[in-house]
A and B are shown apart, each in its own frame.
Chain A
Amino acid sequence: MKGNEAIAHAAIRCGCDGYFGYPITPQSEILETLAAQKPWETTGMVVLQAESEVASINMLYGGGGAGKRVMTSSSSPGVALMQEGIAYMAGAEIPGLIVNVQRGGPGLGTIQPSQGDYFQATRGGGNGDYQIIVLAPASVQEMADFVDLSFELAFKYRIPAMILSDGVIGQVMEKVKLPPFKPRRSEEEILRDCPWATTGRRNGRPINVITSLELQPEAMEKHNLHLQEKYKTICANEVRVEEMQTEDADFLIVAFGSAARIAQKAILDLRQEGIRVGLLRPITLWPFPYDRIRELAGQVKGILTFEINAGQMVQDVRLAVEGRTPVTQYGKMGGIVPTPDEVIATLKSDFHI
């Protein structure tokens, strides 16, 4: 099945309470699959086509604020519209899942694949000092697996989580093993697990207020410090990477999502020529695997950052490497997906192999 379809099936299976979204290529199959599956008749999951992306993200704010597992999905320009809502969710510490199946930009750009929203996702398109958890799937299987993982992390830390995919992984069909069915949480379970949520005040408990507004500077500073503390904890505990043939590597490619798949093929071909190249694939783009890249920088003669954009993640790679080894970047824009041969040629010319 397609990556987009896998997201929809996984959402139903992992006990998602609600989906709110607005169609946009290349991710419309998520909403279409949910509509065809009619989960409101089986699990009771709500599926709603909102009037806009802005409406969708604010429905997430409301649903997440009530302790429900809610999600939305869109593609780049649609996710740009959601940034205000995401910043509000981050400020009010509301969990929720946003799926971005990226296409080329800026603006309306193109409907073809891109990874140009790396900055938007990891730096935050909204205002203020905040982060969200960003997971980058590289297969249809991970599209399915990361839905539940995102919800788990989002509720564990009370933070929005994003699946940052792209048109390749959204549209490609591969084998997938769907996760087992997990029931939606009951009202009692939400009361127990989300004591902060607006679940209706009973038994005289203090009023739960969900807001990102605080006009007292001292109180706001305290809240900011609390958020930063939380982000540090996430950085310490939730970094995820996949490595391929890094043990004996003389050169390293750092790539995420679909680019990592293309890099895998390039590495297999390079190894056949006797050139020892390894792959580090950040699975979490935030928190970013600075430490592991720094370690590998001491081992290799050069690092090629390969991403389908003008060079965004390369900034994080350089921050990790701190000049220990040369770092170069390769990518394309306009919705053009580079082939493994181009990656091979770039690596050879960058490092004079």
Chain B
Amino acid sequence: MTQEIIISGFGGQGVLSMGKILAYSALMEGKEVSWMPAYGPEQRGGTANVTIIISDERISSPIVSTFDTAIVLNQPSLEKFEPKVKAGGALIYDSYGISIPPRRTDIEIYEINAMDAAAEMGNSKGFNMIVLGGLLKLRPILEIENVLKALRKTLPERHHHLIPANEAALRKGFEIIKKV
């Protein structure tokens, strides 16, 4: 099985980190992974995106034309990547950053109000983990437990006290994602 995922939003939203956590978690489950950022000046305030491929087999191209799942967190990302979701694929968006919602009918569309939920939880930095939780509900490619293991392994010790907050955010995302 291969999942080709694009995560796109504003620089600073944690787009690249979300991808990294996903990639590390998949690696720890023994899967093949590829994490390819759109690097450059756009990371400072502009649009940032990252392509993550998770597979049971060796990955050919880290650059792909279409995606199984697109997570779009602002309007420019929606416009760029909605047409690139494979027919039957899924698109996840947070309506906070989206004024004109997606319109395609041949893909599954999900909404996750992660920005609002993060504010309610008093953990605005947990925004990306809420989105990640939503993705894992939709695409059970990884166990939440393995994501937490990956966090324990990749975060420096001094940040380990933040893991429970991250877990809560992941579970929140699991709860609040809804099909449109």
Whether A172 and B40, one on each chain, are in contact in the complex, defined by CB atoms closer than 8 angstroms, is no
Interface residue tally for chain B (C-beta within 8 Å): 20
Interface string of A189-231 (1 = CB under 8 A from B): 0000000000000000000000000000000000000000000
Contact, CB under 8 Å: B34 / A340: no
In the assembled complex, the CB of B52 is this many whole angstroms from the nearest CB of chain A, namely: 9
Quick check: which of A6-14, A35-43, A44-52, A260-268 contacts chain B, the rest being far away? Answer: A260-268
Q: Which residue in chain A gives the minimum CB-CB distance to B26?
A: A175
Let me know if B60 and A261 touch, CB within 8 A. Answer: yes
Contact pattern, B 19-53, Cβ under 8 Å of A = 1, otherwise 0: 01001000100001111110111000000000000
Within 8 A of B (CB), among A252-311: 258, 261-266, 268
> Interface digits, A99-120 against B, CB 8 Å rule (1 contact, 0 not)?
0000000000001100000000
The 8 Å CB contact of B33, one of A26, A168, A175, is A175
A339 at the interface (CB under 8 A from B): yes
Contact (Cβ within 8 A) A337 B27:
no
Distance between A242 CB and nearest chain B CB, rounded to angstroms: 13
Number of interchain pairs (Cβ within 8 Å): 60
Closest-by-CB residue of B relative to A261 is B61
CB-contacts of B86-106 with A (<8 A)? none
Q: Across the interface, which residues of B come within 8 angstroms of A264, CB to CB?
A: 60-61
**List of B residues within 8 angstroms of A263 by Cβ:** 61
A25 within 8 A of B: yes
Among B62-70, B115-123, B142-150, which stretch is in contact with chain A?
B62-70
Contacts of B39 in A (CB 8 A): 25-26, 111, 167, 171
Whether a CB of chain A sits under 8 angstroms from the CB of B59 is yes
Contact B20 A173 (CB under 8 A): yes
Contact A265 B61 (CB under 8 A): yes
A265, A268, A337: which has the most chain B beta carbons within 10 Å? A265
Task: Determine the distance from Cα of A268 to Cα of B60 in the docked complex, in whole angstroms.
Answer: 9
Q: Does A243 have its Cβ within 8 Å of any Cβ on chain B?
A: no
Q: If A175-B27, A264-B60 touch, does A339 touch B65 (CB 8 Å cutoff)?
A: yes
Inter-subunit contact B37/A171 (CB<8 Å): yes
In the complex, whether A247 has a CB less than 8 A from a CB of chain B is: no
- Report the separation of the CA atoms of residues A10 and B159 in the bound assembly, to the nearest whole angstrom: 29
Query: Do A340 and B65 form a contact, CB below 8 Å, given A168-B36, A174-B33?
Result: yes
The yes or no answer to A341 lying at the interface (CB within 8 A) is yes
- A162 and B132 alpha carbons, distance in the complex (Å): 40
Cα(A264)–Cα(B62), bound, Å? 10
Q: How many angstroms between the C-alpha atoms of A263 and B61 in the bound complex?
A: 8
Cβ-defined contact, A172 with B34, below 8 A: yes
* Alpha-carbon distance between A172 and B32 when the two chains are bound, in angstroms: 13
- Check if A173 sits within 8 Å of B63, measured CB to CB: no
Given contacts A172-B34, A173-B20, contact A339 B40 (CB under 8 A): no
Q: Is B40 a contact partner of A168 (Cβ separation < 8 A)? A: no
The residue on A at minimum CB distance from B40 is A111
- Output the least CB separation between B140 and chain A (Å): 22
CB within 8 Å for A340 and B61 given contacts A112-B40, A167-B39, A173-B20? yes
Q: List 20 A-B contacts (CB under 8 A).
A: A168-B63, A171-B36, A171-B37, A171-B39, A172-B34, A172-B36, A173-B23, A173-B35, A175-B27, A175-B33, A258-B62, A258-B63, A262-B60, A262-B63, A265-B60, A265-B64, A268-B60, A337-B63, A339-B63, A340-B64
